[in-house]
A and B are shown apart, each in its own frame.
Chain A
Amino acid sequence: MNEVPQDPKNFKGADKVKKLMYAVDKDGKYTGVNSAGWEAENTATRQVWDDVDEALAATEAQVKAGEISPVAYYMQKSLMDIALLAKYVGKWQWQVKRHMKPGVFSKLSTKMLEKYASVFNITVQELQSFGK
């Protein structure tokens, strides 16, 4: 039981949860033990989030340079891909891709903008002003 790793993650609130692990005690009997985390698992968790943050920073720069619309940024921030976002806003994937062109985005209807904003859990104002 003392072999159950207790390595805190110190990462995005993960330490709020102490997961239950199964381990054998000194008599060889299985019991549940709470664990703060494990180094190996923490490495994997961090790596996947590092990837997300890196991609997000790159997209933010692209939005600011006027190469891509805020839809692309908030899609990544919401951990979605085009297929998933298309399902949420009820559009085809090619339509969502088009909405990522700044020129097309600036002409989107209020209704469409509201749809995106609601899926991203932000206001239309936030969506439109991002990167400006």
Chain B
Amino acid sequence: MSTKQFQHFQHAHCESGVTSNLLRHEGIEISEPLAFGIGAGLFFAHMPFIKVSGAPGTSFRSLPGSIFKRVTKSLGIEVHTQRFGSPQKAMVALDEVLDTGKPVGMLSSVYYLPYLPEAFRFHFNAHNLISYGRQDGLYNISDPVLEEVTTISYDDLAKARFAKGTPEPRGFMYYVKNAPADIDFKKAIEKGIKKNCYLMLSPPLPWFGVNAIFHLAKKIKQYPAKLTPRKAQLYLGNIIRMQEEIGTGGAGFRFLYAAFLQEASEILQRDDLKGFAEELTAIGDEWRNFAYSAARLMKERKSDLVSYDELSALLYSCAVKEKDFFKRLDQLKW
């Protein structure tokens, strides 16, 4: 039985944050950027055929669950993951693990987390958090996006773990079973970078990777002709929120990934990675510029053709640069 005190660190993003906090508890010093990079967390997807609260589905990160999975696999860490048929079973299983002193990661819906501000509580079902103990009917919660730890009641946690919709967490929980004494970050970093280049460059479909950035740039150009001003605003607003509001560390995870490349350059003693980090920071600034311009366009509440064209051009530039960036990153010799 472990009696080690759980330590909470705030992070930008829920999944890389939970991964870092869970592994640090096992004595593995892994920062959030390192977890994000090894987990190949960076992505872009724009799927007009999937509507999320009325707007086309847009994502700046890879599939939920993939970061924790890749990091633990690459580092040779043994984990336990489980889904459940009922909230009761899911809570009993959680209690059993917590009572051994192990912190447990879980998927939840932000809508059912009363400790979060109302402004952020939508039906988003892939939020990661950690419980590290329970007492007097309350669960101790380490939510990586918060500065401090908090608590939640049994009923609220059960609801959050069994939220309905897409995806359904079905009580999904995960914890570290065994961590090796020797952790080889070098090999894992190389693997993570290769995987991320693959994710950004390879999908032969217009909705994923750098292709999707080009795709969205084209779409935005057509907004004034194809959408009512209100719809266009809603669509733009959704992109900005996915890029900036939903815990990305800024510029849709681009700054977080740049921080990873910088840390990787130190671990591997490679100056070329440092250069890549600086480049990605500059690309991230362009994404911020895009969001800033999009917000201004929304505020003015009129859609004049020129502005949407400009917006499309800003995004197009991001696409060209990211394509070139990942192509060269992919050609690194290891």
Residues of A within 8 A of B (CB): 4, 9, 11-24, 28-30, 32, 34, 38-41, 43-45, 47-49, 51, 79-81, 84, 87-88
Contacts and interface: CB of A to CB of B under 8 A. Distances in A.
Given A20-B10, A34-B147, A41 B116 contact: no
A80 B119 contact: no
B10 A30 contact: no
Contacts of B244: 38, 40-41, 44
Contact of A88 (B32, B121, B164): B164
A94 to B, nearest CB: 18
Contacts of B117: 12-17
Interface stretch (B42-50, B187-195, B291-299): B291-299
Interface residues of B, number: 49
Nearest to A87: B164
Nearest to B13: A20
Contacts of A24: 281
B241 interface: yes
Nearest to B301: A47
Contacts of B288: 40
Given A14-B117, A17-B120, A22-B33, A44 B245 contact: yes
A40 B244 CA distance: 9
B147 A30 contact: no
B12 A30 contact: no
Interface stretch (B176-184, B255-263, B321-329): B255-263
B130 to A, nearest CB: 16
Interface of B: 10-12, 32-33, 53, 111, 116-123, 145-147, 164-165, 233-234, 236-238, 240-241, 244-245, 247, 249-250, 255-256, 258-259, 262-263, 277-278, 281, 288, 291-292, 294-296, 298-299
B33 A18 contact: no
Contacts of A16: 117
Nearest to A30: B259
B237 A44 contact: yes
Given A14-B117, A17-B116, A84-B165, A45 B233 contact: no
Contacts of B32: 32
Contacts of B241: 41, 44-45, 48
Nearest to B51: A81
Contacts of B12: 19-22, 32
Contacts of B258: 22, 30
A108 to B, nearest CB: 21
A40 B295 contact: yes
Contact of B295 (A19, A39, A80): A39
Nearest to B159: A121
Nearest to B292: A40
